[in-house]
């Protein structure tokens, strides 16, 4: 339950409770207007950090590999703890030449032909799960559908056995996003270690008995003639399972929660008045499941009159940038027909999300299945929010579906636009000069 809107003088953006208990819309507007480079002071021995809230400043920071680095961590939990042990080995926290080479490897193992196969599976699974939920009258959408589709997708890519899916899903939630106030940073760290150990076992299995899956292909890869180490493979599998599951899952939950609260937007989607592509982009902008990414200053520079010095932490807040009035017309309005839509849900620049294609596929298939098989849906109980200073969303979403019996034999419509921009280029980004990747 929201209590009040904190002010810049009282807010602590390092505290997960800040996001679980408060509506920050007013705070972000204030920061964008009056303090676009805001200092979040140290709290209880935790380091302070800079906060960027404007869309343009966030994009500029993502492109800046001269003054800023991701190799000391790219989220608050690691930046505030002194650094990321995966630096230089996991794509998200690697820069320069090695980042470029590692990214090429991941683009090869996630090639368009592989992803097209996966997309077909996502369609079948999503439509089956929606039909089952309709037949039973309702469900916890977060558990029954959003909790299954992304995990099934990324687990199949990695070759994770089906009997382990629930275990990995539980670990990823504990690692990054939980509604349980009893789960502390020690529990989250243990969950992260559990995921790493799980993939270490899988890497050992692939070395003994090679298989043609993502892990098997990573095991056979090298950079500058040097094979990837077991740790390299494990850390990038960890990144794929975390990124490929949590952000898509939370976006899917938010899409149903938001559509249930905006019947006019649902009507536009149901009657084909908006394209699936524009709807997907607006769902992503609105949900902004990854609230921030971070960088460390390596070279002193100035932004809006503020000196940023080496060693300081700079956080880039999508949660604010995706509501920036300087970029979005009526940003507080949920508009499935919004275009253009330069949202930052997948980051921007050299670290644009390598899994953006799959995330779009998952959200698009969900929207099409809801449109084809239901006349609408309603939330039947409260939705607790997760506790995190990194991700945002709902831990549960009880819903009741109203069936559209005309859709029982309907094939998925194929009106998704922009096929060229939905297909990864050779380097994994869209076919433009804007190489946008997640940090």
Three-class HEC string of the chain: CCCCCCCCCCCCCCCHHHHHHCCCHHHHHHHHHHCCEEEECCECCECCEEEECCHHHHHHHHHCCCCEECECECCHHHHCCCCCCCCCCCHHHCCHHHHHHHHHHHHHHCCHHHHHHHHHHHHHHHHHHHHHHHHCCEEEHHHHHHCCHHHHHHHHHHCCCHHHHHHHHHHHHHHHCECCCCCCHHHHHHHHHHHHHHHHHHHHHHHHCCCCCHHHHHHCCEECCEECCHHHHHHHHHHHHHHHHHHHHHHHHHHHHHHHHCHHHHHHHHCCCCCHHHHHHHHHHHHCCECEEEEEECCCEEECCEEECCCCEEEEEHHHHCCCCCCCCCCCCCCCCCCCCCCCCCCCCECCCCCHHHHHHHHHHHHHHHHHHEEEEEECCCCCECECCCECCECCCEEEEEECHHHHHCCCCCCCCCHHHHCCCCCCCCCCCCCCECC
**Rg of the Cα trace of the chain?**
21
| Mean per-residue pLDDT, 200-208 | 94
Q: Which two tokens stand for residue 231?
A: 């740790």
Note the pLDDT tens digit of each residue in 268-300. 999 999 999 999 999 999 999 999 999 999 999
Residue 435: is its pLDDT beyond 70?
Answer: no
Class of domain 16-422: mainly alpha
Of residues 265 and 172, the one with the higher pLDDT is 265
Of residues 168 and 420, the one with the higher pLDDT is 168
Q: Which two tokens stand for residue 318?
A: 């999508």
pTM confidence score = 0.89
Note the pLDDT tens digit of each residue in 37-83. 999 999 999 999 999 999 999 999 999 999 999 999 999 989 998 88
| Mean per-residue pLDDT, 22-26 | 91
Percent of the chain topping pLDDT 90: 69
Question: What is the pLDDT, as a whole number, of residue 56?
Answer: 98
CA 265, CA 376: separation in Å to the nearest integer? 11
């Amino acid at each position: 339950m929201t209590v009040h809107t904190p002010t810049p003088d009282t807010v602590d953006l390092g505290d997960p409770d800040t996001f679980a208990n408060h509506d920050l819309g007013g705070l972000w507007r204030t920061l964008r207007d009056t303090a676009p480079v805001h200092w979040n002071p140290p709290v209880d021995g935790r380091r302070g950090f800079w906060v960027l809230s404007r869309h343009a400043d966030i994009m500029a920071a993502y492109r800046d590999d001269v003054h800023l680095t991701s190799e000391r961590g790219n989220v608050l939990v690691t930046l505030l703890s002194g650094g990321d042990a995966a630096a230089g080995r996991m794509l998200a926290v690697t820069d320069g030449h090695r980042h470029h080479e590692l990214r090429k490897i991941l683009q090869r193992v996630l090639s368009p032909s592989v992803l097209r196969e996966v997309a077909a599976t996502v369609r079948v699974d999503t439509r089956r799960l929606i039909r089952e939920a309709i037949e039973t009258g309702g469900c916890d959408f977060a558990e029954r559908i959003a909790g299954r589709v992304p995990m099934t997708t990324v687990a199949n890519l990695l070759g994770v056995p089906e009997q382990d899916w629930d275990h990995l899903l539980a670990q990823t939630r504990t690692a990054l996003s939980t509604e349980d106030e009893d789960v502390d940073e020690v529990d989250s760290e243990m969950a992260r270690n559990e995921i790493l150990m799980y993939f270490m076992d899988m890497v050992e299995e692939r070395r003994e008995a090679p298989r043609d899956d993502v892990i098997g292909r990573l095991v056979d890869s090298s950079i500058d003639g040097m094979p990837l180490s077991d740790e390299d493979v494990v850390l990038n599998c960890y990144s794929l399972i975390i990124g490929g599951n949590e952000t898509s899952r939370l976006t899917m939950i938010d899409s149903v929660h938001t559509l249930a609260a905006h019947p006019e937007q649902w009507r536009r989607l149901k009657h084909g008045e908006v394209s699936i592509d524009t709807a997907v982009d607006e769902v992503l902008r609105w949900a902004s499941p990854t609230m921030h990414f971070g960088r460390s200053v390596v070279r002193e520079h100035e932004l809006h009159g503020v000196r940023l010095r080496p060693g300081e932490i700079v956080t880039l807040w999508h949660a604010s940038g995706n509501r920036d009035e300087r970029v979005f017309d009526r940003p507080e309005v949920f508009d499935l027909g919004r275009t253009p839509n330069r949202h930052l849900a997948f980051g921007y620049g050299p670290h644009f999300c390598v899994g953006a294609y799959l995330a779009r596929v998952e959200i698009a298939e969900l929207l099409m299945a809801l449109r084809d098989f239901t006349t609408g849906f309603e939330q039947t109980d409260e939705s607790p929010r997760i506790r995190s200073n990194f991700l945002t969303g709902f831990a549960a979403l009880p819903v009741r579906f109203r069936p559209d019996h005309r859709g029982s034999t309907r094939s998925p419509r194929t009106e998704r636009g922009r096929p060229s921009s939905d297909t990864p280029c050779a380097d994994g980004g869209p076919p433009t000069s804007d190489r946008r990747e997640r940090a």
